[in-house]
Amino acid sequence: MSEASNPEKRKANRPANRAVLVCHCLLDPLTRAERTKEITRDIISVLIDYNISIIQLPCPEMIYGFFRPLRNKEGYNTPEYRGHCKKLAEQTAETVMQYTTGKFEVFGLISIGGSPSCGCQRTHVKGEHKREPGIFIEEIQSVFKEKNIEMKICDHELLEDEKERKFFLG
């Protein structure tokens, strides 16, 4: 059996000191807004197969108000919500810095395509998908830039493409 078709062999050949941040609802879809479409979660088993640790981000929308209707990005683009997301982004940066101080590598963040908060390459704006980050991802990018934290960010559904996945996983 080849390494590519044998997850145990792949796992054995990978260092156990790598981690990735994942948006909350990728691990806990119960936190998604009412009436949102189901998301693919196949990347989680790939991360496990590659012996990559998973760091779950807080869900900014859930913390802000658990039961919520569907909204576009502009519905969340308020000073209060941005401040809320900035605080969570700063906590996330502290977590990443703790991992890297411990000689671990946090190399990426898996975002949720289409999310007004957690999308990166695709976000729902004014009823349409736009090529721009959501509010929480914008705040993470800003805080990470201030703290010189480099991080690949990729929407989850893009990682279904083998070429994108290989680039992201490094």
60-108 confidence digits (pLDDT tens):
988 887 566 678 899 889 999 999 999 999 999 999 999 998 789 999 9
Token pair recorded at residue 84: 């809320």
Boundaries of every domain in the chain? 7-169
Pairwise CA distance, residues 78 & 163, whole Å: 37
Which residues is 22 bridged to in the sheet? 56, 110
Which whole-number Å values give the CA distances from 79 to 14, 56, 75, 155, 165, in the listed order? 43, 25, 11, 25, 35
pTM: 0.86
CA-nearest of 81, 83, 90 to 57 is 90
